[in-house]
Structure 1
Amino acid sequence: MEAKARSLNKKAVAIALTITSIVLVLMMIFGVIMLLNQGNVVKISPQLFYQVMTIHGTGMVGIAALGGSAIMWYFLTKYIHLNPKIYFTNLFLSLIGVVMVLVAIFVFKFSDGWTFLYPLPSASAKIYGSTGALLFLFGLLILGVGYLIMYFYIAVRFVKEYGSLGKSLGWDYIFRGKKGYGPPAAVVASTMVIIANSVGIIAGATALVESIINILNPHITFDPMLAKHLTYAFGHIFANCTIYMAVIAVYEILSEYTGRPWKSNKAFLIAWNCSTLFTLMIYTHHLLMDFAVPQWMLIIGQIFSYANGLPVMVVTAYGALMIVFRSAVKWDFASSMMFLAMFGWVAGAVPAIIDATIVVNHVMHNTKWVPGHFHTYMGMGVVAMIFGFMYYFNKSEGTQKQNGFDKLAIATYFLFFTGLAGSFLYAGKISVPRRWAEHLPEWTSSDQAGVICGIFVIAAAIIFTTRYIIGLRNIGRQPQQKKSYKTAS
């Protein structure tokens, strides 16, 4: 029975990674299409542009979350028993949600952006009909339900294994003086994700239900500012938790490759506990331009946006350096991607912290500076971790070996993604607005540079995806025996 569960869990992860890799390439293509239009290289209608923008923003974060959840689920099976039916349920509901969103956007022309800010869906419903808006809103709602089922199930398993979520966050070691090391890093990170993302998804679900009710009965209205808070709390927390799920691969893979367990010492546990709290608070830096938001809330958004960049990121980046330092680490596709992804994460956080400064935010937040920082930590951080894990999965569960195309693809991906992110940040510097379909002639050079870089990034991603899918044929053939560094709780 246990062997069957392990086999099904691996199959679920393999399917999730296949879907993730294909959709990532598709979302990248959509991104380049937008840049081609903004750079006046090709022209599409404004309506189609905003449809593409909606699916690019929604799809990229959503599919990164699916890849991150595959990483989290795979490594948690080393420490606790997990029922594969739960992950398949999340995967099934996610696919239903994605199909509903795609139909809403490309069949019924819903194009309000991932933010679905109330009352925009209602306004969209009046123009194009309520079907598209309702499909989009219900699609996201179903997707969120899938993640809540998975998170609540894992939470129950943690409580059974460790006694409480507080203990799986290391409270015994932080507050009660328990000696030694806390639960495995994968468990600590997963606990943080469960707490933070469950709150975020529930906040987003509340905003979604408000919009659905308003569309079905326009006489029932809600406070737009409250709806905006709920929406951005959801969006910011959900996007952040994609990297907190994916970073588990850094802990597990680098420790395996170096032969050094990633120990959950007191500093590590405090960092993750701080991040659990801070991640719930800092969404307000998206509202710094809203004069109606209480000043104390904006100050919290700025201060804790600064603070949140330090605990987990610094501890993880420093830990990655220390665990590799003077080790006999073998640099292959997986270890290289994990190490380079730490650079992407740190590099992406710097412009984000700058933007969280109120006086800077008032000038820069509605420019392409924001997608610049987001693409840096998402593309060179989260997505790089997912691609690296894909190789690791095929190598660990099968017989895949690195070749020259892999090395070329890694170099191409990071070199040109740096150029892509740089083109966004430069555009922000010269005050190019984000979310505009049309750009003035003096802005198009940065768009065109982004197009060139984006094409090479897509080429590298296609190599990663093709290699992964081909490698699936070897899954189950001569799997390598990996050493587990399970620490006592």
Structure 2
Amino acid sequence: MQVNRKDSKIAMAHIYVAMIALLLGGTAGLLQVLVRSGEFKLPWGIGYYQVLTVHGVLLGLILTTFFIYGFQIAAVSRTSGALSAKQRLLCWIGFWTMTTGTAMASAMVLLNEASVLYTFYAPLQAHWIFYLGLTLVVVGSWIGGLGQALRWMQWRKENKGQTSPLLSFMVVCNNLMWFVATIGVASEVLFQLLPWSLGLVERVDILLSRTLFWSFGHALVYFWLLPAYMIWYVVVPKVIGGKIFSDALSRLSFIMFVLFSVPVGLHHQLTEPGVDGSWKFLQVILTMMVVIPSLLTAFSLFATFEIRGRALGGKGVFGWLKQLPWGDARFFVPFLGMLVFIPGGAGGIVNASYQMNQLIHNTIWVTGHFHLTVATAVVLTFFGACYWLVPHLTGRTLTKEMNRLGIIQAIVWVVGMGIMSSAMHVAGLLGAPRRSAFSDYGGADIASTWVSYQIAQAVGGTLLFIGILLFLYIFVKLCWFAPKGQEEFPIAEVAPNAEKTPAILENFKLWIVILVALVLIAYSFPIFDIISNAPLGSKGYKLW
């Protein structure tokens, strides 16, 4: 089944913006690691933190959001049917709202009016246009997400009593989680940062702003991750010729991610003195609960791989591995992402553990962790998806040459990331701070402790930039120069002996009630305490 041509245009529009963000954000990342090596200075008065903000915003927020929405629109159209005119209009309105916001925020960063990093922590202050631009990105994502959800709801009405398409169900889960998570950051920007940057208020409560940001900031990780899971669960089994191990288990893992991804942001604030330790403890427990759906996913995927490998003649304990299609970039590239996610997940447990977090908090270890999870597990999966998604949407085919180059690109990426991320982790254990330029380390003696690791980061970062150029070359070829034809949008079927999916898993009324309850339990009392104990402003009134 082919994605509707009109829906393909919307999907590709999102992906085009994502690729522009990849190029610009990747260039900024290269400049960062070169500066930190101590052997390079930025030209033309460009500031290090200006470059750092470009890298974080364009790759962490814009690349991911636009690619995810492009993929999800195509996924819903492919599995639930073509969008209606109204649903398509909502997706276009969402796209242009997000694009306008991206242009506004990017312009302010490039003008050095918003060098506040992608976390935009107060008391660092950006131009009000930057904050308004990011607000438009969030609002646009709500509008586009509504268009996708309405198509799933329409399918449910037209097919009463039937289990909805798995991929569309997963899209709705991800959008629901995203909507709930972004309420916090939207509130921060609209009611604190925008009035503050416009001069309408003198000061803001910094602890409250950070708490509202991190109510979104950790769920953002799962917003990046769940589309990769969609590809792992639904697409990769079809690519290898296998079946989905269990539809019910797949849906259960996504419901668990929805429930446990939002009320956990305080584990990013374990060193904050203004938040009571009992609430931090509660949210650390909820954070660790996410390990369960992660392990369910690992079990389901490798069961699928083993069943398929043995069906092809694999013998012995690991003989089935040899039977998998290692020469197919559509499998090989996301599989590398899965493997890298294992140490990435282990590092996440360190980050969320109170005692161990004390050692690595605000060190470059955390940056190395993000580059394993998001910049490798997620991004490599997105790269692998492009090798079938882009030609499917553009009416082209994946040639043997592009397939081989895709495998080479993934190897370059993993080698580069292995060098850079390993150096970040080790330097972090030695105390090297995150977000800082080489010149800010506080003296030659201190800087010399980490200099070899900074050079290693520059080497790895250079390889990663080469990987970006290779991927963009493949992308351009698949968009406009590959032979015309039809490339499959792979959707795997459920294994015939799998248990029937319980209807309760699609009862979103129940899951939304539980989600809201968890968020209220996790955040209502901490935020009440923060507001109640807010300091007085200079005019004698509460900041909140």
TM over 0.5: same fold? yes
Residue of structure 1 equivalent to 2:317:
none
Evaluate the alpha carbon distance shift between residue 282 and residue 43 of structure 1 in structure 2; reply closer, same or farther with a 3 A threshold: same
Q: 1:387 aligns with which of 383, 387, 393?
A: 383
One-letter identity of the residue aligned with 1:429: L
Shift of residue 366, structure 1, vs aligned partner: 0.8
Give yes or no for contact 1:281–1:300 (8 Å, CA) kept in 2: no
Shift of residue 151, structure 1, vs aligned partner: 1.7
Shift of residue 291, structure 1, vs aligned partner: 1.5
Residue of structure 2 equivalent to 1:293:
275
Residue of structure 1 equivalent to 2:36:
38
Evaluate the alpha carbon distance shift between residue 405 and residue 215 of structure 1 in structure 2; reply closer, same or farther with a 3 A threshold: closer
1:262 aligns with 2:260: no
Give yes or no for contact 2:91–2:147 (8 Å, CA) kept in 1: no
Shift of residue 73, structure 1, vs aligned partner: 1.9
One-letter identity of the residue aligned with 1:455: T
Deviations 1:450-475 (A, max 9, x none): 11111112112211111111121267
**2:73 counterpart SS class:** helix
Give yes or no for contact 2:92–2:144 (8 Å, CA) kept in 1: no
Q: 2:141 aligns with which of 133, 147, 156?
A: 147
1:106 aligns with 2:110: yes
Deviations 1:232-287 (A, max 9, x none): 11222223201212332222321221333325544333322221111011111111
Residue of structure 2 equivalent to 1:211:
193
Q: Distance in 2 between matches of 1:357 and 1:422?
A: 20
One-letter identity of the residue aligned with 1:330: P
Q: Distance in 2 between matches of 1:421 and 1:188?
A: 34
Residue of structure 2 equivalent to 1:76:
76
Evaluate the alpha carbon distance shift between residue 485 and residue 8 of structure 1 in structure 2; reply closer, same or farther with a 3 A threshold: same
Q: Distance in 1 between matches of 2:488 and 2:100?
A: 36
Correspondence 1:410-489 to 2 at 5 A: 410-437=410-437, 438-439=440-441, 440-473=447-480, 477-480=484-487, 484-485=491-492
Give yes or no for contact 2:25–2:59 (8 Å, CA) kept in 1: yes
Max radius of gyration: which structure? 2
Correspondence 1:115-126 to 2 at 5 A: 115-121=119-125
Q: Distance in 2 between matches of 1:221 and 1:450?
A: 38
Deviations 1:113-149 (A, max 9, x none): 212223432xx5xxxxxxxx11110110000011000
Residue of structure 2 equivalent to 1:136:
130
Give yes or no for contact 1:258–1:323 (8 Å, CA) kept in 2: no
Q: Distance in 2 between matches of 1:465 and 1:394?
A: 12
Q: Distance in 2 between matches of 1:322 and 1:486?
A: 15
Q: Distance in 2 between matches of 1:186 and 1:102?
A: 33
Q: 1:10 aligns with which of 3, 8, 11?
A: 8
Shift of residue 108, structure 1, vs aligned partner: 4.3
Residue of structure 2 equivalent to 1:52:
51
Shift of residue 69, structure 1, vs aligned partner: 2.0
**1:281 counterpart SS class:** coil
Give yes or no for contact 1:64–1:242 (8 Å, CA) kept in 2: yes
One-letter identity of the residue aligned with 1:250: W
Q: Distance in 1 between matches of 2:15 and 2:490?
A: 23
Give yes or no for contact 1:188–1:272 (8 Å, CA) kept in 2: no
Q: Distance in 2 between matches of 1:19 and 1:235?
A: 22
What runs of 5+ residues in structure 2 fail to find an aligned partner?
A: 313-323, 442-446, 495-500, 504-544
Give yes or no for contact 1:254–1:320 (8 Å, CA) kept in 2: no
Q: Distance in 1 between matches of 2:489 and 2:348?
A: 37
**1:420 counterpart SS class:** helix
Tell me the C-alpha RMSD between the 2 structures: 2.8
Evaluate the alpha carbon distance shift between residue 95 and residue 290 of structure 1 in structure 2; reply closer, same or farther with a 3 A threshold: same
Q: 1:282 aligns with which of 253, 257, 264?
A: 264
Give yes or no for contact 2:167–2:234 (8 Å, CA) kept in 1: yes
Q: Distance in 1 between matches of 2:46 and 2:484?
A: 49
Correspondence 1:22-33 to 2 at 5 A: 22-33=20-31
Shift of residue 415, structure 1, vs aligned partner: 1.7
* TM-score (norm: length of structure 2): 0.79
One-letter identity of the residue aligned with 2:421: A
Evaluate the alpha carbon distance shift between residue 140 and residue 264 of structure 1 in structure 2; reply closer, same or farther with a 3 A threshold: farther
Give yes or no for contact 2:91–2:145 (8 Å, CA) kept in 1: no
Q: Distance in 2 between matches of 1:393 and 1:266?
A: 26
Q: 1:245 aligns with which of 214, 217, 227?
A: 227
Q: Distance in 2 between matches of 1:22 and 1:73?
A: 19
Residue of structure 1 equivalent to 2:374:
378
**1:247 counterpart SS class:** helix
Evaluate the alpha carbon distance shift between residue 484 and residue 37 of structure 1 in structure 2; reply closer, same or farther with a 3 A threshold: closer
Aligned-residue sequence identity (percent) comes to 19
Q: 1:196 aligns with which of 177, 185, 201?
A: 177
1:321 aligns with 2:289: no
Deviations 1:149-170 (A, max 9, x none): 0222323333333369xx99xx
Q: Distance in 1 between matches of 2:489 and 2:458?
A: 41
Q: Distance in 2 between matches of 1:401 and 1:108?
A: 43
**1:34 counterpart SS class:** helix
One-letter identity of the residue aligned with 2:427: A
Evaluate the alpha carbon distance shift between residue 239 and residue 55 of structure 1 in structure 2; reply closer, same or farther with a 3 A threshold: farther
Deviates more, 1:371-380 or 1:270-279: 270-279
Evaluate the alpha carbon distance shift between residue 426 and residue 143 of structure 1 in structure 2; reply closer, same or farther with a 3 A threshold: same
**1:118 counterpart SS class:** coil
